[in-house]
Structure formats: C-alpha cells, structure tokens
C-alpha cells in the first residue's frame, strides 16, 4: 500500500530521537481492507514532551499547535495535513463531547492507548519503519469476518456518538454488528444517552452514511431496530408499517419502499458525472429521496368495494412514550384483497414533516428549503409522461424545481420497488421529460423572462407596483408560448399596457 514518503522520513527522524511512529485509526483499517487511505493519523511513542515532537516536525513544514495541550500537532505540507499525536488516556468528566479529561502520555503502550478507541477495526497500529502491525483487540480477525465490535463497555458509552458511528460503519463497509455491540447500542438509546449529542455531530454521521454507504438502508435499518428513529426521528419512523397498493408497490410498506429508493439513488449518483462530485448536491438528492414519501402516513386511505373509505391507522401507536418500541412491518391494518390503498396528496403533505425532520439534523435553512420542492413534485415526471403534458406545464414546473434533479428523485422512486418495470432499471418518463425540457431550454433552469422592468421603463412606463402584475402576465404568456421573441412581447405591451 502506497503511503506518502514524508511519513517514513518523519518516522526515521522520530526513531533517531529514540521514539516510534505508529500509523493508527482509519488509515490502517482501510489499508487492511485494500482501500486507499485518505487521512493519516500518527501516534508517537517514547517522547516525554510534546514540544520535542514539535521541534522534530518543524523540519518538514509548518506545524500547527492548536491541539498541543491534548498532545496533538498538525503538520502542513503542500496543501496536505498530517496529524501527529501523543498516545493519551481520556476520562469522562461531564456530558458532551468536550466533557473529557485528556492526558497525553508518551510512555503509554499501544494496547493501553488503543483501548480508548471505539471499535476493534479502528484500534490497529502500523509501525511506519518496521512495518509491524499491532492488533491488541482482534481487529484484523473482525475485518476478515466482517464484524463491527466495540472494544470496551466503559469507554464506549463515554461518547454516545459511537452509536451513530456503528450505524454508518456497518453500512459503509458491510460489517455485521456484533451481538454484544448491538445490545449495548440499544441500551444506550433506551437510557437516553444520545440526547446529550449536539445535532451538528449527529449530522456529520448521517452525511457519512448517506454519502459513503453503497446501501444506506443498512444503517437506517439499524437505527430503526435500535430505537433511534422511534425516539429521535418520528417523521422517518412513521413510514414503518404504512401499507401501499401491491399493484404499484409489491415490495411492501412505505419504509421498505423508501429504503429501496434511497439505495437506488445512491447507485444513480455513482453514475453521475460532473455534479456527482459535489457532496452538497448529492446530499440534497439523497435527503429528498429519504423524505419523498413522508406525507403517506398522513394521507393513506383504504377504499373498499362497498364504497367505504377509511383513513389508515396503525393498530398500535408507533412509539411508546415510555419504551420507544418499534412496530414490526407486519403490524398494520391489512385491508381486504380487493380494497384499494391510496395516498392522495401525499407529495404536498410531506413538505412540513420533511422540514421538521431536517431541522432535527441541521439549521442550514437554504439547504432544507432546496429539498422541499423535490418532495412536493416527485410524482410530476410520471404524471406528465402519462398525460403528455404540454410545453407550458413543463415550463412552469421548471420555475418550481430543477427538472434534472427532479427526474433523478423520480427515477430512484420508480426503481425503489419490485415491479417488472423497475427491475429492468428503465424509467421512460424521466427520459421523456428530460428531452422535452431540453427542447424548451428549461432542463436545468427556468425560462429567462424576455421582458424585465427596465424594458417597461424604456417603453415609457413609470415604475409602480403595477410593474409586477404586468411582468407576471408577460411571463405567463411566454411560458404558454404566446411570444416567439422579445419583440413580440414588447409589441404586446405597447398594445395592451400603454
């Protein structure tokens, strides 16, 4: 495995000083798994003072000593940053991720220092000079058998974020969570330990799950199983058990469909060029997919042959305020085989639950608002295709939502089921709408107004509140195709507004 030459050079200098440089953490895990490591963390054993390490590293580049009191130094070289740190012990002293007493100690042995880490797979060390691997807790064996196992009960519970880390690691690497780790995580959720976590830290783990896991559903299933969705994300948890018409959704309830759709979106984004490198853009589409059916628990009805219409309700409450138990997928009212299940208006009904859900995770208002139109209009591509929508309708849709993004959300929605059409992996409605939008020059942005306020002024109109009414009327006619060009639009103004 290729490592930056700098690391070996630094290790040699550290060795001359009578100490040892050990690569630790995710970089070693990734190397063992055959993945290219991106971040490099080095622990230095055998020095007495952090200032000694600072002097050694300063020969290679700029050293940032912001974390010096915790035994951590950052070496900056050519745009790259390498973390060098003393081994340390940590003791929980208060709630929150800052409530730790950190004691750097260059005299620690590797096993003692590694005990503070979360999982065995992250507690493997690699001597940069001798190439020796240190594995005091069986991480290599767990990697071989695909198991995610915590190291120590007492240290694991000190940082409840590790429950979310277990979720995203299991999904990213295909690990099965060890039974004792799953039991501990459930216990931490039940006892309310996760409530001390600021949402900013939780959001970072959600982003890793969505952006890095080939099948994010693995992580969400763990969240549901461990009681996280029931206790902290009721809008997502509410999807579990909501029935769907088997004609359109033979795969199962809304939760099952949503999980399949999110996985489909993850797959689609891997094939995207250009924008696919933009993490924020990908995250927006993944969240839109996760939330696209949040309105179904609120709107699902069962229509019987005799004309009765019943609003769907779970047999029991989805969440017990005391136990936060989770209803199994099968625990919903199963209608007669000839009954029809519908969720009319669920697109618009999903807007507020989506907004509330996302604010549980982040305060990024503009980002949240950018997701809502994708939820509201996710059925439009299929509806427009069936109806043979006219140019005006497509142009108007482009003023409400980015059509390229909308088609991706609608396609993943279509693929997130087990119908024969979905299994073929084709979505003709999306291709049709993209082609139409391309012809109308609204594929990635709304139609640019031909006439603006300055044009009205140039025609001799005085600025007034009436300008907006005139411009809106002109834009509506433009979207309907009434004007071939700007001159035709201005001619209309001369005839009707002067």
**Model confidence pLDDT, tens digit, residues 395-417:** 999 999 999 999 999 999 999 99
Query: Are 302 and 435 contained in the same domain?
Result: yes
Q: Which of 55, 49, 46, 42 is nearest to 15 (CA)?
A: 46
CA distances from 168 to 148, 222, 480 (A): 11, 9, 48
Query: Are 239 and 201 contained in the same domain?
Result: no
Supply the pLDDT for residue 391: 96
Average pLDDT over residues 110-121: 95
The reply to whether 445 falls in a domain is no
pLDDT tops 50 at residue 217: yes
Query: Are 385 and 488 contained in the same domain?
Result: no
Q: Which of 159, 139, 164, 151 is nearest to 90 (CA)?
A: 159
The reply to whether 209 falls in a domain is yes
CB atoms within 10 A of CB 131: 7
Three-state SS sequence of the chain: CCCCHHHHHHHHHHHHCCCEEEEECHHHHHHHCCCCCCCCEEEEECCCCHHHHHHHHCCCCEEECCCHHHCEEEEEECCEEEEEECCEEEEECCCCCCCEEEEECCCCCHHHHHCCCCEHHHCCEEECCCCCEECCCCHHHHHHCCEECECCHHHHCCCCHHHHHHHHHHHHHCCEECHHHHHHHHHHHHCCHHHHCCHHHHHHHHHHHHHHCCCCHHHHHHHHHHCHHHHHCHHHHCCCCCCCCCCCCCCCCHHHHHHHHHHHHHHHHHCCCHHHHCHHHHHHHHHHHHHCCCCHHHHCEEECCCCCEEECCECCCCCCCCCCCCCCCCCECCCCCCCEEECCCHHHHCHHHHHHHHHCCCCCHHHHHHHHHHHHCCCHHHHHHHHCCCHHHHHHHHHHCCHHHHHHHHHHHHHCCCCHHHHCCCCHHHHHHHHHHHHCCCCCCCCCCCCCHHHHHHCCCCCCCHHHHHHHHHHHHHHCCCCCCHHHHHHHHHHHCC
The reply to whether 145 falls in a domain is no
Is residue 303 classed exposed, middle or buried when 0-12, 13-18 and 19+ CB atoms within 10 A define those classes?
Answer: middle
- 43 Cα distance to chain centroid: 31
User: Which of these three, 217, 232, 247, is where a domain ends?
Assistant: 232
The reply to whether 150 falls in a domain is no
Supply the pLDDT for residue 447: 93
CB atoms within 10 A of CB 455: 17
The reply to whether 433 falls in a domain is yes
pLDDT tops 50 at residue 329: no
Query: Are 203 and 289 contained in the same domain?
Result: no
What's the CATH number where 103 sits? 3.30.460.10
Domain count for the chain, please give it. Answer: 4
CA distances from 324 to 34, 161, 196, 227, 234 (A): 40, 19, 18, 6, 10
The reply to whether 187 falls in a domain is yes
Query: Are 188 and 58 contained in the same domain?
Result: no
Rg (CA), the chain: 28
* Greatest Cα-to-Cα distance within the chain, rounded to the nearest angstrom: 90
Query: Are 193 and 340 contained in the same domain?
Result: no
What's the CATH number where 191 sits? 1.10.110.30
Query: Are 191 and 319 contained in the same domain?
Result: no
The rounded distance, in Å, linking the Cα atoms of 379 and 215 is: 23
Average pLDDT, the chain: 91
Average pLDDT over residues 97-107: 76
The rounded distance, in Å, linking the Cα atoms of 194 and 198 is: 9
The rounded distance, in Å, linking the Cα atoms of 401 and 8 is: 52
Query: Are 413 and 485 contained in the same domain?
Result: no
Between 14 and 96, where is the model more confident?
A: 14
Report whether 339 contacts 270 (CB < 8 A): no
The reply to whether 462 falls in a domain is yes
Which residues neighbour 322 within 8 Å (Cβ) at sequence distance 6 or greater?
Answer: none
Average pLDDT over residues 16-35: 95
Report the residue count for the chain: 498
Q: Which domain holds residue 346?
A: 235-439
Supply the pLDDT for residue 68: 78
pLDDT tens sequence across 290-319: 999 999 999 999 999 888 899 988 765 444
pLDDT tops 80 at residue 100: no
Average pLDDT over residues 464-483: 91
Query: Are 210 and 65 contained in the same domain?
Result: no
Query: Are 349 and 414 contained in the same domain?
Result: yes
Ranking 5-14, 237-246, 270-279, 487-496 by mean pLDDT, the lowest is: 270-279
User: Which of these three, 72, 103, 137, is where a domain ends?
Assistant: 137
pLDDT tops 70 at residue 93: no
Supply the pLDDT for residue 331: 40
Query: Are 338 and 265 contained in the same domain?
Result: yes
The rounded distance, in Å, linking the Cα atoms of 406 and 397 is: 10
Is residue 85 classed exposed, middle or buried when 0-12, 13-18 and 19+ CB atoms within 10 A define those classes?
Answer: buried
pLDDT tens sequence across 134-185: 999 999 999 999 999 999 999 999 999 999 999 999 999 999 999 999 999 9
User: Which of these three, 106, 137, 168, is where a domain ends?
Assistant: 137
Query: Are 223 and 242 contained in the same domain?
Result: no
Structural tokens at position 24: 């630790």
CB atoms within 10 A of CB 2: 7
Supply the pLDDT for residue 271: 87
The reply to whether 148 falls in a domain is no
* Residue showing tokens 């070289």: 77
pLDDT tens sequence across 485-494: 999 999 998 9
């Amino acid at each position: 495995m290729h490592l930056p030459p700098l690391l070996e050079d630094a290790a040699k200098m550290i060795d001359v000083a009578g100490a040892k440089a050990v690569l630790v953490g995710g970089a070693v895990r990734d190397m063992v798994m055959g993945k290219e490591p991106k971040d490099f963390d080095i622990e230095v054993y055998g020095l007495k003072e952090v200032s000694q390490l600072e002097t050694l590293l300063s020969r290679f580049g700029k050293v940032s000593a912001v974390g010096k009191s915790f035994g951590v130094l950052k070496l900056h070289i050519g745009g790259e940053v390498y973390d060098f740190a003393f081994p340390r012990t940590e003791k929980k002293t208060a709630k929150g991720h800052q409530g730790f007493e950190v004691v750097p100690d260059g005299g620690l042995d590797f096993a003692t220092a590694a005990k503070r880490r979360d999982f065995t797979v992250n507690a493997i060390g690699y001597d940069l000079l001798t190439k020796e691997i240190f594995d005091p807790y069986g991480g290599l064996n767990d990697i071989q058998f695909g198991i995610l196992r915590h190291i120590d009960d007492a240290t694991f519970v000190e940082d409840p974020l590790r429950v979310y880390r277990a979720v995203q690691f299991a999904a990213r690497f295909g690990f099965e969570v060890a039974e004792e780790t799953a039991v501990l995580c459930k216990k931490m959720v039940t006892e309310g330990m996760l409530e001390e976590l600021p949402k900013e830290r939780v959001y970072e783990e959600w982003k890793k799950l969505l952006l890095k896991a080939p099948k994010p559903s693995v992580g969400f299933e763990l969240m549901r199983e461990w009681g996280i969705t029931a206790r902290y994300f009721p809008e997502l948890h509410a999807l579990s058990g909501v029935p769907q018409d088997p004609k359109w959704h033979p795969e199962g309830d809304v939760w099952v469909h949503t999980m399949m759709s999110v996985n489909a979106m993850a797959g689609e984004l891997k094939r995207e060029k250009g924008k696919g490198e933009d993490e924020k853009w990908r995250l927006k589409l993944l969240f839109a997919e996760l939330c696209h059916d949040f309105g179904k628990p609120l709107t699902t009805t069962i229509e019987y042959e005799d004309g009765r219409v019943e609003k769907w309700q779970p047999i029991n409450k989805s969440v017990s305020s005391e136990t936060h138990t989770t209803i199994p997928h099968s625990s919903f009212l199963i209608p007669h085989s000839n009954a029809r299940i519908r969720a009319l208006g669920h697109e618009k009904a999903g807007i507020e639950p989506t907004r509330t859900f996302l604010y549980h995770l982040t305060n990024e208002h503009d980002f949240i608002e950018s997701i809502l139109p994708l939820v509201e209009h996710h059925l439009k591509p299929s509806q427009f295709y069936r109806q043979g929508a006219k140019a005006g309708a497509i142009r108007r849709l482009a003023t409400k939502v980015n059509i390229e993004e909308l088609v991706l959300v609608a396609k993943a929605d279509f693929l997130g089921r087990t119908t024969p059409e979905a299994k073929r992996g084709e979505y003709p409605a999306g291709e049709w709408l993209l082609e139409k939008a391309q012809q109308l020059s609204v594929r990635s942005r709304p139609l640019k107004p031909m006439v603006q306020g300055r044009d009205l002024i140039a025609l001799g109109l005085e600025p007034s509140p009436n300008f907006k009414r005139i411009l809106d009327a002109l834009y509506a006619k433009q979207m309907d195709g009434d004007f071939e060009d700007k001159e035709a639009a201005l001619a209309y103004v001369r005839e009707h507004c002067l």
